[in-house]
Amino acid sequence: MAVTNRIRVAAYRWTLRRFRPYRVRRSWAGYPFELWISDPTARSWYDHDSPETPPEMSFLAQHRLRSGATVFDCGAHQCVIAMILAKFVGATGKVVAVEASPHNYDAANRNIRLNEAGNVTAVHAAVSDTLDPIEFNWRGNGQVDDGTGAWGKISVSSVTVDELTRRFGAPDVLFVDVEGFETKVLRGAADSLSLHRPDCFVEMHVGCGLEKFGGSVKSIADSLEGLGYQLWMSGPGQNAFVPFSAESPLVAARFFLIATAPR
């Protein structure tokens, strides 16, 4: 297994070295962006126009995603989503984009500079429930190592949402897309959630990471509802969020969860 892992990582790193990065102008959510396409994953995800506003942003724009808001984007990849969020919060708001992969963090900063997105700050760290260093993998769509070393391991710094709150102020909106590590992220946000009640968007990686790190749909839903949040859900390719139900067939696979706090 160790030999297979090394071969897999070597092949991926060889692909990265052969890739010729380029700059492209694309429209996302109706906004023009200059994007640095630094690898095959970025090419697949970002080198096309995406005119529709992501439904989670449209939904949260009816709540706390508005001008002047502070947003924490946990698992920001190369900051395309963070830059769209920055359009919602405007010059008086801010987006703190946290990304663990060194490669994606570098590309994120390049995208921020290309678009003069002065209200976006990139932080190089993995979001967790402690401040201890953590092992992350080499994949283009990076993930905390699950103990197998299937995609190699690099040690990166960690940060909690509560620590981000101390550094940047309380968030109005918390975006979480961390490839299965969402339970740990929310555990490290305990004070921020209970004291400041940010609206939350959580990509729930059911069957593709959530359970590996000791999480479950029930534990996350119960903890948020216990804080008084109202929960909503949607599936990939769907445009509407409906009230959360643990009996919904959506919970059997990856889906999207929104938590809004009563005002």
Distances (CA, A) of 94 to 130, 143, 178, 260: 24, 25, 20, 20
Specify the residue for token string 């968030």: 171
User: Which of the 8 DSSP states describes residue 47?
Assistant: S
d(CA 95, CA 112) in angstroms, rounded, equals 11
pTM (2 d.p.): 0.96
Give the lowest-confidence range in 9-13, 37-41, 74-78, 180-184: 9-13
Instruction: Compute the average pLDDT of residues 225-230.
Output: 97
Cα(75)–Cα(243) distance, integer angstroms:
25
Lowest mean pLDDT among 8-17, 47-56, 183-192: 8-17
Rounded to 5 degrees, φ, ψ at 54 are -55, 135
Tell me whether residue 149 is exposed, middle or buried, using C-beta atoms within 10 angstroms of its C-beta: 0 to 12, 13 to 18, 19 or more. middle
Q: Is 91 exposed, middle or buried (0-12, 13-18, 19+ CB in 10 A)?
A: exposed
pLDDT at residue 209, as a whole number: 93
- Split at pLDDT 50, 70, 90, the class of 3 is confident
* Residue 262 pLDDT exceeds 80: no
CA distance 50 to 48: 6
DSSP symbol at 50: B
Which of 126, 129, 104, 250 is closest to 189 using CA atoms?
129
Question: Is domain 52-260 annotated with CATH 1.10.1740.110?
Answer: no
Report the alpha-carbon distance of residue 208 to residue 178 in Å, rounded: 11
Strand partners, 234: 256
160 in Cβ contact with 129 (< 8 Å): yes
- Are 161 and 169 within 8 A, CB to CB? no
Q: Is the pLDDT of residue 142 over 90?
A: no
1 pLDDT exceeds 60? no
pLDDT band at 150 (very low <50, low <70, confident <90, very high): confident
Which of 236, 240, 239, 224 has its CA nearest to residue 185? 224
pLDDT value at residue 9: 83
Separation between Cα atoms, residue 153 and residue 31, nearest integer Å: 36
pLDDT in tens, 45-78: 999 999 999 999 999 999 999 999 999 999 999 9
